[in-house]
Structure 1
Amino acid sequence: MDINRYQWQVLPIISLPSWLVDIVNKYCANSQGTYAAQLLWQRGIKTKEKLQGFLDSDYYQPLSPWEFGYEMKLAIKRLKFAMDNQQKVTIWGDFDADGITATSVLWEGLGQFFIPHLQLNYYIPNRSKESHGLNIPGIKKLAEEGTILIVTCDTGSTNLEEINYANSLGIDIIITDHHTLPDERPNVISIINPRYFSEEHPLFSLSGVAVAYKLVEALYLSFPETPKSPLENLLDLVAIGLIADLVELKGDCRYLAQQGLKKLQQQLTNTTRPGVAFLLKLCKRSGDRPTDISFGIGPRINAISRIQGDAHFAVELLTSKDDKLCNKLALETELANTRRKSLQKDIKKDVEKNYKC
């Protein structure tokens, strides 16, 4: 490659407002903060509110779940109807790290309003046999078990045929997802998907777990009198799913990841999720930085479905309070990841052997 053909395009140095440099300087030890201020300005951070929110998550003002408008209101209305009439609700998740954490967030969040295992269950499709999304055999099984309402997470936006089939069995569906939008709105009670926002919107980059979190947040706001565990207890799960899914960390995504990492790093000293603590120990991470998820916890959760197909137990790993069970499940997860790495190495060797360049 002739590197002389390419030239760096450098933006000109501009005169920055003194307030910008002063604020950045507080966060840049042993420097005047000028270069950092220049970069932030060029990224479009040009107000004190945006700057402080970017540099310190405690200053960031996350958007309300009601930003999703009428769709969120419809979802809450239908969930209230299910509560009042003691209807059986099933969370339909996905088998990757974002889908597993999203399922876990809804399992714990909705579990404050529905009796787990009696009124509330979850369904994770088998990666090998069912693949992503809603499917007709799974829906039929849930109907036979008495499910009246399905709440999806990290999936479902384009499953039009499956949604119509569910409706024919008397099952309503609430979609929470962040993937490609359908050409026309599906026949669902509600579809909560940040893709309806513009790309500049602070919620546009939310992953499946973050959308699920927003639904739970709306429930908490709608029923303040219901006794429940603190909403922020879910943030470590949100951070795991967000970072593992490699979404762009800007706006509310960045805020939720930052707040979630604060919760995650507490698991080794003040354990509330034994499964997460065991995973951190197995991958020799402290949980205080994004790479602890992207190179530690995330690949281990993803390995479960890639090796075994069935990732159903991963939700239990993340939500159970039983130390003995979580230790067993964490070791099973570690074994799956070890097998995944071994297979990856074998495949690499085969490729290098058969396709030498």
Structure 2
Amino acid sequence: MSPPVRPPVRDRRRWARYLVDERAEAAVYRDIAARRKGEERDILLALAAAEGRHEAHWIALLGGEPDRLPRPALRTRVLGWMARRFGSIFVLALAQNAEARSPYDAEPYATATMAADEKVHHEVVRGLAARGRRRLSGTFRAAVFGANDGLVSNLALVLGIGATGVAPGVVLFSGIAGLLAGALSMGAGEYVSVRSQRELLDATEPSDFADAALPDLDLDANELALVYRARGMGETDALDRARSTLAAVRGGHPVPGAPIPGDAEKDDVVGGAFHAAVSSFAFFASGAIIPVLPWLFGLSGTVAVLVALGLVGVALLATGAAVGVLSGGPPLRRALRQLAIGFGAAAITYVVGLAFGVTLG
């Protein structure tokens, strides 16, 4: 739609807001691109260029660069601040949500192309964020699981012990013991889990046990085909693969097919057992220490319980919101869900402690 000869002031203000937001979003993409390389960098710069085209549209409607411009929206300024300092997956996840809230569908002076661009930008940023989520998923899952396990289990422990009316020193000792026991259990469990997974991979990967006997096989009977069928190939494909393998061996050529994965490849798949154990210990301990802090600093009774609840509540809200941002969901809803689960578990043990002890003093 063409603008009126003298557009109303409210329209010009709205266009100026669009202009500064497009300019700020382009800067966000350029800042993130500066921390990337290869294809991801090219995609981010292309997004910045598209935002530049939208910026030019609003400048044309305004009849040139205005003398005064409003500040960009708060969410865009926050994105810019994070992009300049971190350039992380969190920025892309927030940008994904921002692109999903484009106002151009209901804006009469935005072109259909601009509205379509914003929808496509959402999918592009979603794809870039998905790459980062896949790279981060294992570590992030372990961090969230370990920290939340420490938060909830130790909060439940100290509240349950505290509700019995025992001395503050007993609560503190119980919390420290719970921290160490839980962290050691998590570390040991993760070590055994990763080692077991590596051993399973060792047992299931193809081996070169029979390679030395390949030249002596009967080409017509061709029992090598049975090996490939046992590995999941169809009968025809297995026979073709066996014949090509025998032909290569008898001709002095390398055996066709993928090499057997070594330790480096297995590390990419399952990681190192020691590293996983140390990470699990640290993540659990970082969460489990928080409920103990009030007693560690000399508080006791109801005051200590309330402070512990406050500290753990903030931590649960933060981890829940982080999960929401990374998953592209509503951060507040995820944060409240995390809080409800954690406090629900702690409430159960507190009630049990009251049933077996006396009231807090």
Identify whether the pair has TM-score above 0.5, normalized to the shorter chain: no
Q: Relative to total residues, which structure has the larger helix share, 1 or 2? A: 2
Structure with greater strand share of residues: 1
Higher RCO (CA < 8 A, seq sep 6+): 2
Which bin holds the TM-score, normalised by the shorter protein?
Answer: under 0.3
TM-score normalized by the length of structure 1: 0.26
